[in-house]
Amino acid sequence: METIGEHLDQTHRHFQHVTTPPAIIRQLIAWYDRHHRDLPWRVTPTAAAQGKRPDPYHIWLSEVMLQQTTVQAVKPYFAKFLAAWPTVADLAAAPTEDVMAAWAGLGYYARARNLKKCAEAVAGLYGGVFPDTEDGLRALPGIGDYTAAAVAAIAFNRPAVVMDGNVERVVSRLYAIDAPLPGSKPLMKTRVRDLTPEDRPGDFAQAMMDLGATICTPKRPACAICPLRDHCLAFSEHDPERFPVKAAKKEKPVRFGAAFVAVNPEGEVLLRRRVDSGLLGGMTEVPTTDWTARQDGGQTADHAPFRSAWQSCGTVTHVFTHFELRLSVFRAKADETIHPGGWWEPVANLGAQALPTVMKKVISQAIPLAFEKDPNR
Nearer to DNA, 24 or 163 (CB): 163
Vertex 10: Cα angle to 4 and 12 (nearest 5): 105
Should residue 322 be labelled a site residue for DNA when binding is judged by CB under 7 A? yes
| C-alpha distances out from residue 372 to 164, 172, 344, 368, Å | 38, 46, 19, 9
Contact mark string toward DNA, 274..313, x via CB under 7 A: ----xxxx--------------------------------
Site size with DNA, rule: CB under 7 A: 58
Within 8 A by CB and 6+ apart from 288, the residues are 257, 258, 259, 260, 327
What are the catalytic residues? 63
Should residue 246 be labelled a site residue for DNA when binding is judged by CB under 7 A? yes
Q: Which helix (H) or strand (E) holds 319?
A: strand 311-319
- With beta carbons less than 8 A apart as the criterion, state whether 263 and 271 touch: no
Should residue 122 be labelled a site residue for DNA when binding is judged by CB under 7 A? no
Q: Which helix (H) or strand (E) holds 311?
A: strand 311-319
Nearer to DNA, 17 or 377 (CB): 377
Indicate which single residue of 31, 57, 109, 344 sits in contact with DNA (rule: CB under 7 A).
109
Should residue 321 be labelled a site residue for DNA when binding is judged by CB under 7 A? yes
- Which of 156, 164, 166 has its CA nearest to residue 134? 156
Nearer to DNA, 23 or 110 (CB): 110
Candidates 25-33, 37-45, 125-133, 330-338 — which segment interacts with DNA by CB under 7 A? 37-45
- With beta carbons less than 8 A apart as the criterion, state whether 80 and 98 touch: no
Nearer to DNA, 11 or 147 (CB): 147
Within 8 A by CB and 6+ apart from 369, the residues are none
Applying CB under 7 A, the residues found at the interface with DNA are 37, 39, 42, 62-63, 66-73, 105-110, 114, 141-148, 150, 164-166, 169, 182-183, 206, 209-210, 212-213, 217-219, 246, 249-250, 278-281, 318-322, 356-358
